[in-house]
Structure 1
């Protein structure tokens, strides 16, 4: 534990930075303002500050860093306006259960009664309900203890962002140091409930497992693979999952469930026992009528979040952390002798045409992407094509947003690349999505982040157009995006790049991009009107 600096009094700043140091939080992301200046005084040499040129970029980059390191990350924002700018990314972090310590500046306490310029009137309420915990401590000397509590809350399952507002004059006030507390994250569900689930699996005619983001988040993929192989259950990934969690080249893997109620129920018709693991399976994007599940099917839902289990409209919920619960369940389940489902057919090779088909980009990417690469996706128009043609085969190999607020992909990729784990990050992003957070290219360039950005450029918000077509609105205004020069924008932000207009140039361009040490962007012109956004009302329910 540190002592006072140079004989001066131990301050809030000393206590907070000592706490960060002891918990390994020595990389801070942020976008600074006047109400944070006192926090930055005497900036410690062993800390790194990663600047995002907009607040949502800073939050998403911190989230990518957290997803790479497996621990919380810290992000500093500017008072009310900066917090407001960031809230789309805070919403994504909350839905995706990313532990972040979000710090917001605030004007000096003596000024607050006069509602000063840049101040937040009710700072603890501003980011709610999309943080687990929020506070502006009543006294300056309470700030270090608030950080310790916030960290504990952020790291306790279900993990997620927390928020602290700190008046700018608090940082120089005297304070006492705080000790970090261990967060032991595993707990096992009710043994009677797990026994009931095991009995259902042991007697099932045809069971299935639905894997959600919680599996990858808790490092439970090996246990879930073991459960699938022991029971012979077919495995699906939940609708719009932000992670993978099961190897998509496994013989038991069947595909991705759609976020459409009737399609999802149809996809599950063959199964009599359904086990949802770390997955909110009733995540719908468009409304249809019909039952939630096939008639007669039994659903069991394993998750660590009591709120999520409470709003599940049907089924039996078991409150448990995923790895601990599935490991315990494995001891209760009999080895089943069920025939493996037929192998999923490999899709035919896409045509080599100009304009370039998105499927050709994905197939070429599959053949050239480094084996240990981490794929970050934010391409709503072509996510189905990407999943169908580029299987994720290892834990931690896939990241996207499970909540849908755009602007997540680019900065998450940058933060993930800065986590220091050595893999190259490949970010496949739409032209529309990328413009929500294009400033992240500057951060990538400044830090030499090993990211290949691939913009699938159809000059439109094509996913919105496709959903419009689905509900008989063929001409949606405000969905055309002509004339954006991504290579020039990237160059202005310090990131080299290249435009690809011809299919014949695609493989060479990708190889060149993967051969760079730092960031590189490919602006790939793809055919318009090719989105498969949840197909049509008569679709079979798989993608």
Structure 2
């Protein structure tokens, strides 16, 4: 009797390249952010028509754009870098993505496996060690056949809270090797907070006389904006923003809004004075920038914390910490019986409006920000990297809605301008406004070329004070005398309109109130990128 012949177990094999593109398509990652080198070229042979290669002219721009895009789309972005040199160029923004909690799947080219024993040109000798400790996981698969599985695993790790970047090093001769397809899987990304500890948090807030909530970036990242507002209103709690937060997590025109905490221990204690329970919500307790001493909280105040990051919970100096989904934790807290009614705190005193400056003076940044707030659409998105202006931004440029503000949690420059491009690509129905200092702009000015090539309808505002002004503020902390020179901080003679024009972006320089108002009105409705260089005091 004849038996049917079984099909070969290898009949369904495809190349590593085909398997990876099939997987990326299933995972919704059809935009590839990169700047290619020789070791990456084999990946892009027969590039699929439904994929988009987003070219940037330097690797820090590549990663910054991908970071903004991933935050805007709520999905990991796919990045392709060139071996050790490209990863090295990108490390500043990989560090920022790590601090931002942004999911990125980073692939880096590697020399062919047959060449690696000979320390080849453009080889990465310790490819998996190079990006550490600022990636959640890094690997160079032992076999070419394992590359698709490694990228799948990298994606799931990147998307697990707390999200972050991962790296897969891929030798250049792996892409044509035959392998089996890898199917995308459904993997849960939610961790429900411990119910008993949540009850402790709820009871502490119920019993508080004057509770405070300190919100961090994780609230907005987890889509918990509405729950945070409802919870603050239930407890009539004053709401502050944690130091160095990269997202806005509470409406800044709300009566319970309390402002921004500084990154200094003593001043945090001072600002939180009078509160008996402090709830760190999606935020560290606390991020400091300068040395301090003494307690971390006002006398007799209790700290409770809900965070999606076990490391943040572990390093809190005092109090009770619960790890899990911010949104689910707040929903569980809101499901408890409502506490007794509490008198709301007095509304925060708002900064006074600034008068129109005289024509002969350089534009005050307070007035520039106030005017931007007056003219911009309420739901427009601000992407900011202007460290010296940040305190004034806090006073004169309030954020009203979820997912309408992005900055870096790291303090590393070079993120803001490319991230604005990524956000504009990820949210094409919104007006994106990049608000960048002149020093910050020069870290990633090549991003203007990509903005022009893609005709992104963006407004690019360069606050030009001709120096690294933030360093002048810190100079006083480190003992510099008033008026004493701070070496290496002057930035004269940079023509941002010329730099923009050379890369295909329309621009204008303004130095008077009328000129700024006219230029801003045009830039807010531009069909492509428009840059305004603002000569500020």
TM-score by length of 1: 0.94
Residue correspondence of structure 1 range 7-406 to structure 2 within 5 A: 10-332=14-336, 334-351=338-355, 352-353=357-358, 354-406=361-413
Q: Is the 8 A contact 1:144 1:178 kept in 2?
A: yes
In structure 1, which of residues 423, 426, 436 is the aligned counterpart of residue 443 of structure 2?
436
Q: Is the 8 A contact 2:253 2:400 kept in 1?
A: yes
Residue 512 in structure 1 maps to residue 522 in structure 2 = yes
Q: CA deviation at 1:32?
A: 0.3
Deviations 1:229-250 (A, max 9, x none): 1111110010010000111111
In structure 2, which of residues 499, 511, 517 is the aligned counterpart of residue 501 of structure 1?
511
Distance 2:299 2:162 in 1: 31
Q: CA deviation at 1:333?
A: 5.0
Q: Is the 8 A contact 1:155 1:183 kept in 2?
A: no
Secondary structure of 1:247's aligned partner: coil
Q: Is the 8 A contact 1:74 1:102 kept in 2?
A: yes
User: 2:500 matched to which residue of 1?
Assistant: 490
Residue correspondence of structure 1 range 402-441 to structure 2 within 5 A: 402-441=409-448
Distance 2:179 2:464 in 1: 53
Secondary structure of 2:14's aligned partner: coil
User: Which shows bigger deviation, 422-431 or 340-349?
Assistant: 340-349
Rate the CA distance shift 1:8–1:295 in 2: closer, same or farther, 3 A: closer
Distance 2:372 2:93 in 1: 28
User: Which shows bigger deviation, 337-346 or 43-52?
Assistant: 337-346
Rate the CA distance shift 1:430–1:141 in 2: closer, same or farther, 3 A: same
Deviations 1:200-241 (A, max 9, x none): 111111111110000000000111111111111110010010
Q: CA deviation at 1:420?
A: 4.0
5+ residue gaps, structure 2, are: 1-10
Distance 1:446 1:174 in 2: 36
Q: Is the 8 A contact 2:12 2:180 kept in 1?
A: no
Q: CA deviation at 1:346?
A: 2.8
Q: Is the 8 A contact 2:433 2:459 kept in 1?
A: yes
Distance 1:198 1:432 in 2: 45
Distance 1:281 1:521 in 2: 38
Q: CA deviation at 1:9?
A: 5.9
Q: Is the 8 A contact 1:187 1:325 kept in 2?
A: no
Secondary structure of 2:161's aligned partner: coil
Deviations 1:412-440 (A, max 9, x none): 00011011441010010100000000000
Distance 2:187 2:531 in 1: 39
Q: CA deviation at 1:345?
A: 2.4
Deviations 1:252-300 (A, max 9, x none): 1110000011001111111111111110131111112221111111101
Distance 1:493 1:296 in 2: 58
Distance 2:121 2:244 in 1: 41
Secondary structure of 2:174's aligned partner: helix
Q: CA deviation at 1:512?
A: 1.1
Q: CA deviation at 1:451?
A: 1.4
Residue 476 in structure 1 maps to residue 483 in structure 2 = no
Q: CA deviation at 1:471?
A: 2.8
User: Which shows bigger deviation, 308-317 or 143-152?
Assistant: 308-317
Q: Is the 8 A contact 1:77 1:83 kept in 2?
A: yes
Q: Is the 8 A contact 2:285 2:317 kept in 1?
A: no
Distance 1:153 1:87 in 2: 19
Secondary structure of 2:175's aligned partner: helix
Q: Is the 8 A contact 2:81 2:107 kept in 1?
A: yes
Q: CA deviation at 1:450?
A: 1.8
User: 1:4 matched to which residue of 2?
Assistant: none
